[in-house]
Amino acid sequence: MSPLGLLFLTLFNSILGLSILFPILGPLGRELGLSEVQVGLFSTGYALMQFLLSPLWGRLSERGRKPILLLGILGFGISFLLFGLVALLGQKGFFSPGLLFLLLLLTRLLGGAFSSATLPTAQAYVADVTGRENRTAGMALLGAAFGLAVILGPALGAGLAAFFGLLAPVFFSAGIALLNALFVALVLPESRPQGSIPPDRLSPWEGHIFPLLLLGFTLNLSSVALEQTIAFYFQDRLGLSGVETARSVGLALVLYGLVAVFIQGFLVRRFSWPPRTLLLTGVPLGVLGFLLLVAAHTFPLLALGLALQGAGAALAGPGVTAALSLAVGEGEQGLVAGLNSSAQALGRMLGPILGTGLYRLAPEAPYLLGAGLLLMVLLLLPLLFRRVRL
């Protein structure tokens, strides 16, 4: 198998281990006596560490991709093992509620700190093993690994929880990470010459970098605001019960994920579209998807709006990542990938707060915000293309 194929499996396993937890963190938190806000802080803290540390890991990976990738996966696995052990002891009453929350939060911060090494190093690895003409297709393959894992992970997590209890997915996730680390150690080849010396720095404010980072942040912010509110929106728009909402949203999200995987795993790789084409196609599709969500009052139209937004994100996301990779030299791939991951993590931090806050004002507000942000991006793309040669 090619190094790119091996990297696909590595990233798929990493994201699968994370997405397995999506359906169980909420009910597990309630079982442990934690509030919704406390459970939400687990995700916020995780993203905060990614925002802070991704640039550091990206820079360190310039000395060698494989050791950083291995360290990130091992740290992720150990953090989830600790999370499961602390939660298990909490179930048995060994900790007060306050101490239990603090210990669980610390394990999530640890997980965010180490997992922030994985994505920027994987992006830099792709840059190492692909030529400039194949860079976009390589980055799209990472997106396909991410999307496929997000489709399968929640279903696997829900199944494990149903048969073995809410903590089973946590320990299963830790086990996947440790096996993934073994896979990386034994099978994945190094892509960076040993002893490479990284550049001193790469400023995010440079004229050919900052507009692309801002674009990536905007895309992530609008997508996460949607993801955090879409279940409420389906329930309120369609007048569904809790069980009906879970079924309807689950079906729509599977469609959303399948569209993204098909686009990134097949279309982008098959036709090798350049970043300019991906952005000029993906951003308008995202705008259309958000506007359709605002107007829709039936399940088919809501699902179509979600699928269109997913298609737009699946095109524009690799466009931004590939554009950043192509905007710098071969010795700066880890640095720029770290900055990209940090910008995306900032979107994941602010998206839930902004999305749910706007939803309380008006259910359509998060999607109007998403449409407005992407429309602004679309209007500014010609200026971006003059600054950055894509």
pLDDT of residue 288: 96
In a domain, 192, yes or no: no
Domain end, chosen from 154, 186, 218, is at 186
The reply to whether 167 and 251 lie within a common domain is no
In a domain, 202, yes or no: no
Single out the residue of 14, 281, 307, 1 nearest to residue 142, CA to CA.
Answer: 14
DSSP, collapsed to helix, strand or coil, labels residue 209 as: coil
Domain end, chosen from 154, 171, 186, is at 186
Residues of the chain with pLDDT under 70: 1, 193-200, 242-243, 246, 388-390
pLDDT of residue 186: 92
The reply to whether 141 and 248 lie within a common domain is no
The reply to whether 333 and 272 lie within a common domain is yes
pLDDT tens profile 100-158: 999 999 999 999 999 999 989 999 999 888 887 788 888 888 888 888 888 888 888 88
pLDDT of residue 198: 58
In a domain, 197, yes or no: no
What mean pLDDT, rounded, does the chain reach? 87
pLDDT of residue 343: 92
pLDDT of residue 54: 93
Distance, first Cα to last Cα, the chain? 31
pLDDT of residue 353: 83
The reply to whether 176 and 214 lie within a common domain is no
Is 296 in contact with 305 (CB distance < 8 Å)? yes
The reply to whether 61 and 176 lie within a common domain is yes
Is 354 in contact with 202 (CB distance < 8 Å)? no
Q: What domain count does the chain have?
A: 2
Q: How far apart are CA 32 and CA 21, in angstroms?
A: 15
**Beta strand segments in the chain, E:** none
In a domain, 193, yes or no: no
The residue segments making up the domain with residue 278 are: 210-387
Single out the residue of 153, 146, 85 nearest to residue 118, CA to CA.
Answer: 146
The reply to whether 243 and 365 lie within a common domain is yes
Domain at 133, CATH number = 1.20.1250.20
The reply to whether 225 and 180 lie within a common domain is no
